[in-house]
Amino acid sequence: MKILVVGGAGYIGSVCAELLLNEGHDVAIFDNLTEGHRAAVDPRATFSEGDLSDRQSIGAAISTVRPDAVMHFAANALVGESMENPSKYFRNNVGNGLNLLDAIVESRVARLVFSSTCAIFGPPDRLPIDETLPAQPINPYGESKLAFEKILRWYDQIHGLKFIALRYFNAAGASEKFGEDHRVETHLIPNVLQVALGQKPEVAIFGTDYETPDGTCIRDYIHILDLARAHILALGSKKSDFYNLGTGGGSSVREVIDTAGKITGRKINVVEKPRRPGDPPRLIASSEKIQRELGWKPQFQSLDAIIESAWKWHQKFPTGYGD
């Protein structure tokens, strides 16, 4: 198939593009390179630099490529930042996303795979989080993704656009070539590994008084290659639907830091800080629906394996993509 990967120079998009290419698909990447990196564009793909705020630019990309399907990764995705700058999140994730949807409808692209998030749920009443739980986001990031999910339903009903929305839990790890490099790093695992590399003196633990066994937040870390495989399976689905995507396991902030210490063999200095606004205490996925309906199964079940792949990548590329 011919796939247009919007946001394909970013962390998750670059690995999905790599896997699509490995499986023999044609890939075109559209990215504005604000979060993404030119060096994260797989050389086997074609690349056009453009911004979703520019309706002409995405329209031109779609009519040139004429893709069978679009994968949409281009968004801002930081919970903490969204609590300070909600406008950025609603403008980019919802408003600019609409330009993409309208271009897709105009060019009659049949399918869309959309990067959604478990942040649409907010703190759940029960765990693990399955698709029947109510969506009650507690930060503008989650709210922006939920709004886009609702828009997708209407575009299906009115324009017949078939979509799969994948609600990622915490993406982590790396492929051999592509990994996690944000210009301002806020994510736990890369921050911990930067301490292991001696690039940062210590890692902060945001909140040690949560109602969890060790007082720190619990997340379901899912390997980026497992996420990428789910996107490929989603291309084969004929209907529109929403799927949660995690391993079903949970690790606390302290467990992540301890595991990274063990794998890297380096001392990780920590400093305890207050809670970060917008953080739910525990997020653990039920991925039963996608396993049952699309045949997805995570290959990386352990936090050790996930951190090990990230560590390999950070050692190989200590300055990330270097830009």
**Residue 261: both structure tokens together:** 């210490």
Quote the least distance from Cβ 111 to ligand UFG, whole Å.
Answer: 23
Number of residues assigned to the chain? 323
Instruction: Classify 63 as helix, strand or coil.
Output: helix
Which is catalytic among the residues 11, 141, 168, 221? 141
Give how far the C-alpha of residue 52 lies from the chain's centroid of Cα atoms, to the nearest Å.
18
Quote the least distance from Cβ 185 to ligand UFG, whole Å.
Answer: 8
Indicate the residue among 81 and 111 with the shorter CB distance to ligand UFG: 81
Using the Cα atoms of residue 233, residue 239, residue 240 and residue 245 in order, give the sign of their dihedral.
negative
Number of other CB atoms surrounding residue 300 within 10 Å: 19
Quote the least distance from Cβ 260 to ligand UFG, whole Å.
Answer: 12
DSSP symbol at 268: -
Give the residue carrying structure tokens 């980026």: 224
Using CB under 6 A, list all residues that contact ligand UFG: 77-79, 117-119, 169-170, 186-188, 191, 203-206, 217, 219, 253, 276, 279, 283
Indicate the residue among 47 and 300 with the shorter CB distance to ligand UFG: 300
Quote the least distance from Cβ 12 to ligand UFG, whole Å.
Answer: 10
**Residue 14: both structure tokens together:** 């670059």
Q: Say how far apart CA 170 and CA 54 lie, in whole Å.
A: 30
Residue 310: C-alpha distances to residues 15, 175, 176, 205, 317 (Å): 13, 8, 9, 20, 10
Indicate the residue among 56 and 87 with the shorter CB distance to ligand UFG: 87
Question: What single-letter amino acid sits at 210?
Answer: Y
Indicate the residue among 15 and 77 with the shorter CB distance to ligand UFG: 77
Sheet holding 218-219, edge to edge: 251-252, 218-219, 282-283
Is 141 designated active site? yes
Indicate the residue among 67 and 122 with the shorter CB distance to ligand UFG: 122
Quote the least distance from Cβ 98 to ligand UFG, whole Å.
Answer: 20
| Nearest residue to ligand UFG, scored by beta-carbon proximity | 217
- Which residues are known to be catalytic? 141
